[in-house]
Amino acid sequence: MTLIDFIKDYPDEASCHAKFKEYREHIGVVCPKCGSASHYWKRDKECYECKQCKYRQGLKTNTVLHKSKLPYRYWFIAMHLLTGTKKSFSVKEVQRQLGHNRYHPIWHMMHKLRDAMGKRDGEYVLAGRIELDEGYFSTETSNQDKDKPLKRGRGSQRESKVIVMAESEYVESPKAGQKPRRVGYLKMKVIDNLKSDTINEQVQTLAGRATEIDTDDSSSYVDLKNFVPKHNAQVIPKQKAGEVLP
């Protein structure tokens, strides 16, 4: 959703309130006391009342907005900033954009949103055709490590080992300059080592619905064929990596 579309769809507090209520009722309101899913909406009290036990709960109760006194539109804007752009936003920047005086409520809101996004990401399991490779990311060394000689290559203290997996679907008749595959969901996980047991565990956890998997011919991947229906392993020259695992 573009910024213009966002402003058009959610121009004020009332529109955000109405959308949040609509979405919550679509998911289903459950009574925390008796478990009933049948409720009345009491407009004068801004709450739901259970038809069975008469227990009342607010619109924000048991949601990511629980106990928050911030406007609904603050939450919607923060969600849009976090999910609608590739850049990261600091709490200070979100506070500045919202024009809010106090830092802590904005920090709490952003922390809850990021926590919810992390949990949602953790629930998704990759499916279909998968590309798999390992990556190395620069790491700050601890004071203790700084006194030791730094290793080079795979064992270097300066690099974290990360397993990277992406859903990878072939594109029919790709245009000039377009890659031959379309990326779906991604999973990236920091791992302690590149042993096959470690790789196997991560693939089974993060890509348990994979039907086909493409990798290089590393010995770390030799057992993938035991639990993925089809494993395509091949020697990949460095200059060809972008073509074979685009």
Dihedral of alpha carbons 92, 95, 100, 102, sign: negative
Strands of 139-193, DSSP E: 159-170, 181-191
CA 243 to centroid of chain Cα atoms: 26
Spell out the alpha helix ranges (H) of the chain. 3-9, 13-27, 72-84, 91-98, 103-123, 143-146, 196-206, 241-244
pLDDT 10s digits, 198-207: 999 999 999 9
**Is CATH 3.30.70.270 the right assignment for the domain spanning 127-138+156-171+178-244?**
no
Confidence at residue 151, expressed as pLDDT on a 0 to 100 scale: 60
Share above pLDDT 70 across residues of the chain, in percent, rounded to a whole number: 93
Confidence at residue 86, expressed as pLDDT on a 0 to 100 scale: 74
pTM, two decimal places: 0.63
Phi, psi of 53 (to 5 degrees): -115, 0
H-helix or E-strand containing 147? none
Confidence at residue 198, expressed as pLDDT on a 0 to 100 scale: 94
Residues of the chain with pLDDT under 70: 140-157
pLDDT 10s digits, 122-181: 788 999 999 999 888 887 666 555 566 656 555 555 788 999 999 999 888 888 888 888
> In this structure, what token pair is assigned to residue 174?
């790709």
Under a CB-based contact definition with an 8 Å cutoff, are residues 29 and 35 in contact? no
What radius of gyration do the chain's Cα atoms show? 24
Domain boundaries, the chain: 127-138+156-171+178-244
Confidence at residue 235, expressed as pLDDT on a 0 to 100 scale: 92
